[in-house]
């Protein structure tokens, strides 16, 4: 059985800024002129989402009951 602290950490996600130029060609082609995108990753590092707006990344995480944290 998981305790509340462990369960809380499982629901944390990390929002990271990514330069569009660092992404694969097919993703760059879809970036529609944006220079930065925001990736949402789980605690294991798996990318869950890639969006064009920081506020949207946080809202999307919260909408799915995750606690977002900005990675510098």
pLDDT in tens, 2-55: 333 345 557 999 999 999 999 999 999 999 899 999 999 999 999 999 999 999
pLDDT of residue 72: 79
pLDDT of residue 3: 37
d(CA 39, CA 52): 9
pLDDT of residue 6: 41
State phi, psi for 60 to the nearest 5 degrees.
-60, -45
34 DSSP assignment: -
């Amino acid at each position: 059985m998981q305790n509340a602290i462990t369960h809380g950490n499982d629901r944390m996600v990390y929002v990271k800024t990514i330069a569009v130029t660092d992404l694969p060609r097919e993703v760059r082609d879809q970036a529609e002129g944006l220079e930065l995108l925001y990736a949402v990753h789980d605690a294991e590092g798996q990318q869950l989402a890639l969006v064009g707006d920081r506020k949207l990344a946080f809202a999307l995480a919260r909408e799915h009951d995750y606690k977002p944290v900005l990675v510098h």
